[in-house]
């Protein structure tokens, strides 16, 4: 890409130097616009924010308020699946608890929320717990159910349950995403399942990206 940009822009810059000032200014503006367009269409590579899943086993735990669960049935299951899929594929972990088996275990052991993180990790038999506290998940602005205004936000914590401090988070990060990008979209324009599917995908992807090197499009809106 740098060589291509050089081949395209260098002749333009040389030409601009020989043009009268107004025309030269216009050409420099054109070069700037082309450079900005090329940047928007490109990608940027980001390193992992936390790389400690590599070489270890893990489980993804989604914690959500009962009101969120009641308003959006199955949202914790969907987020667990999205995040776990990306982590197991890209984070270099040695093992994980598949979402189906994990969720079955959590339902069969309702007292898990009263356990310390170290105790939970020990019972699950994993070295790392990726805990996502889902603070907000809504599809509409409060008081306006006719216009889509989806928001998902939460806190991501990692517990190294094989360490000397298994109950203290070794890593913490806040995540917030929105959908749709365009404001004022009505229910008639987008089905509910499209909105919640994309909102949960964005949130889950943002969580997973914290744990491995990845590329993001420069014009990404979330």
At residue 102 the predicted structure's pLDDT band, cuts being 50, 70 and 90, is very high
pLDDT of residue 3: 44
- Give pLDDT tens digits for 43-63: 999 999 999 999 999 999 999
- Give pLDDT tens digits for 204-214: 999 999 999 99
**Contact (Cβ atoms closer than 8 angstroms) between residue 154 and residue 136:** yes
Across the chain, mean pLDDT equals 89
**Segment 102-119 mean pLDDT:** 96
pLDDT of residue 12: 45
Say if residue 221's pLDDT is above 80: yes
**Segment 18-43 mean pLDDT:** 64
- Give pLDDT tens digits for 149-167: 999 999 999 999 999 999 9
At residue 4 the predicted structure's pLDDT band, cuts being 50, 70 and 90, is very low
Non-local CB neighbours of 52 within 8 Å, separated by 6+ positions: 128, 158, 160, 170, 171
What DSSP character marks residue 111?
G
**Contact (Cβ atoms closer than 8 angstroms) between residue 152 and residue 134:** yes
Distance CA 150, CA 140 (A): 6
**Contact (Cβ atoms closer than 8 angstroms) between residue 206 and residue 85:** no
- Give pLDDT tens digits for 125-153: 999 999 999 999 999 998 898 999 999 99
Distance CA 163, CA 127 (A): 8
Non-local CB neighbours of 20 within 8 Å, separated by 6+ positions: none
**Segment 3-31 mean pLDDT:** 51
């Amino acid at each position: 890409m740098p060589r291509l940009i050089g081949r395209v822009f260098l002749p333009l810059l040389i030409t601009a130097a020989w043009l009268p000032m107004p025309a030269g200014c216009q050409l420099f503006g054109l070069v700037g616009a082309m450079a900005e367009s090329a940047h928007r269409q490109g990608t940027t590579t980001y390193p992992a924010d936390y790389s400690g899943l590599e070489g270890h086993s893990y489980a993804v735990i989604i914690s959500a308020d009962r009101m969120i669960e009641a308003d959006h049935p199955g949202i914790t299951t969907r987020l667990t699946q999205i995040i776990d899929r990306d982590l197991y594929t890209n984070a270099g972990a040695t093992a994980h608890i598949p979402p189906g088996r994990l969720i079955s275990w959590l339902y069969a052991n309702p007292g898990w929320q009263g356990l310390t993180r170290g105790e939970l990790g020990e019972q699950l038999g994993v070295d790392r717990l990726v805990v996502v506290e889902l603070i907000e998940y809504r599809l509409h602005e409060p008081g306006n159910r006719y216009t889509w205004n989806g928001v998902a936000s939460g806190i991501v914590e990692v517990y190294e349950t094989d360490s000397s401090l298994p109950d203290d988070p070794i890593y913490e990060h806040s995540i917030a995403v929105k959908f749709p990008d365009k404001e004022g979209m009505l229910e008639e324009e987008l089905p509910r399942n499209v909105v919640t599917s994309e909102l949960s995908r964005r949130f889950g992807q943002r969580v997973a990206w914290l744990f491995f090197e990845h590329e993001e499009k420069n014009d990404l809106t979330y």
